[in-house]
Structure 1
């Protein structure tokens, strides 16, 4: 009975934390974790860090092709600011967002290392012989033109980055930084975990918004580059 109620709750709210479920059903956090493990195995929902998300909503992100055409003028304005944070000798992390792709195109051909899970970023950096490019590898998503999954995450876990740049679907100083699908948000979390400095590139349309999955709390971001 509780399992059915958990599924209904997750489908209704799209994402629910372990603590919220424990309170809703008056059971312990450990009990909920056991329930989620079984439900994830059966395919009824998807376990994520700290809770669960609906399998009905798990991938609602736009393709890279669509995102690369969206708000291009605003992104170009923002990456003109972002490139000033890049210095010679740095190890730089770039996620698979279209903002990072715009930044990859702007980065000058200086001695640095760039780590990315984005095929489009790799292509954008072709011909810049002074830049060492490392791609995470992993499972390839044609929709997002990027790599994701356990192999990509494991690759990043063994690295250290001076500064990473990423974007999001929604940002709010109170609720945090949000994304719309599990493939992208897990990689973004990995970049944040290994970076000395974390820089979010987000135009004004993304402020005061939430989405399906929380990437991190707002205080995990050191610098926000925006056009507000």
Structure 2
């Protein structure tokens, strides 16, 4: 079977089943696992699928990929991003970390920072930063989103509004070429919008997969952040907008 026809059939199976697995496709086409991994990488780079652990799913503009799946995606890229971001997080500072696997990666890189006050609506962050005895941790409270340990809603927004942070490190679900940061949960968007108003400086951490995704809820323009930490150069249109807005882009190699 030609590559083109195999790619087309892989997409048909993904549309039918919602997800494809490397082992299942290798058996279906009677080819090696390596061949299927290359196929899925090609389709992901073309924006037709999103890689997840053991396979791929259709890119969705309405529902986010499951948390455990997201945690397994682009681990090395997230680590590089987190290291580059953490270098610029000052000691003796108040810092907010929001919901997301990229911000959790940043938390790991803050374990040796001194005299931090970290506020978060991500229940996974305290479990990480408890290993830093020189870090005071405050959890916002709010409605628990069991899928990923995020805290959202009115109580969370009200808690965030009580602070003025030196720095906020945030993630998002997608980055539009128009320069908009996007997400799936309108309650989380409300928290992020409040956070932008309550922070002296904002860092966005986003791996390259966010450039190819979309989501229905707008957080804000990327012009409202000070720096973007990512693992690959931004799309040219978005890169030009960041340059015009004075938003620094750090590509972690």
- Structure 1-normalised TM-score? 0.71
* Residue of 165, 168, 173 corresponding to 1:169: 173
- CA positional deviation for 1:66: 2.3
Output the CA distance in 1 between the equivalents of 2:205 and 2:229. 5
Deviates more, 1:78-87 or 1:181-190: 181-190
- CA positional deviation for 1:175: 4.0
Output the CA distance in 2 between the equivalents of 1:62 and 1:184. 16
Alignment of 1:34-113 (within 5 A): 60-107=63-110, 108-113=112-117
Q: Deviations 1:67-123 (Å, cap 9, x if unpaired)?
A: 211111110010010001111111001001100101111102411100100110010
Q: RMSD in angstroms over aligned alpha carbons? A: 1.9
Secondary structure of 1:195's aligned partner: coil
Output the CA distance in 1 between the equivalents of 2:161 and 2:130. 25
- CA positional deviation for 1:184: 2.5
8 A contact 1:91–1:113 mirrored in 2: yes
Output the CA distance in 2 between the equivalents of 1:124 and 1:84. 18
8 A contact 2:62–2:215 mirrored in 1: no
Q: Deviations 1:120-170 (Å, cap 9, x if unpaired)?
A: 001011121110101000111111211111001000011110111111121
- CA positional deviation for 1:183: 3.3
* Residue of 134, 141, 153 corresponding to 2:138: 134
Secondary structure of 1:160's aligned partner: coil
Aligned length: 172
- CA positional deviation for 1:209: 4.2
Confirm whether residue 214 of structure 1 aligns to residue 201 of structure 2.
no
Tell me, which stretches of 5 or more residues in structure 1 are unaligned? Answer: 1-56
Q: Which residue of 1 aligns with 2:228?
A: 224
